Amino acid sequence: MSDTRHRQLSRIYGRPLESDDDARAAIRRDPGILASALFEECVQSDDVTSIETARAYLEDRLEFLGDLVREGAEPVRQTFEARVAAWQ
């Protein structure tokens, strides 16, 4: 597994995701896992100090994941937003 994105998604999903197709399928199957993991990263980040910076953090991470998450980005955003709403 040479792709950093594959390694990160493998950690998040708790199983080997060795190809782009594997990663896309995992995200499509359960975007909530990715959204929750990214939310937890936000909670632990010293740089996230508001709802706006949490949203910016999410968008940066989705941009990093690029084409692997593009099809599943909206469900990830919706689940993430539901978690962020608890902060309000």
Q: What is the pLDDT of residues 17-65, one digit of tens each?
A: 999 999 999 999 999 999 999 999 999 999 999 999 999 999 999 999 9
Q: Which two tokens stand for residue 33?
A: 């896992």
What pTM, to 2 d.p., does this model score?
Answer: 0.92
What's the CA gap between 6 and 2, in Å, rounded?
8
What's the CA gap between 77 and 65, in Å, rounded?
13
Task: Work out the pLDDT band at 1, boundaries 50, 70, 90.
Answer: very low
- C-alpha torsion 70→79→14→73, nearest 10: 0
Which position has the token pair 């190809």? 19
Q: Could you tell me if 53 and 76 are in contact, meaning their C-beta atoms sit under 8 angstroms apart?
A: no
Q: Which two tokens stand for residue 75?
A: 């469900």
The Cβ-side half-sphere exposure at 56, using a 13 Å CA radius, reads: 8
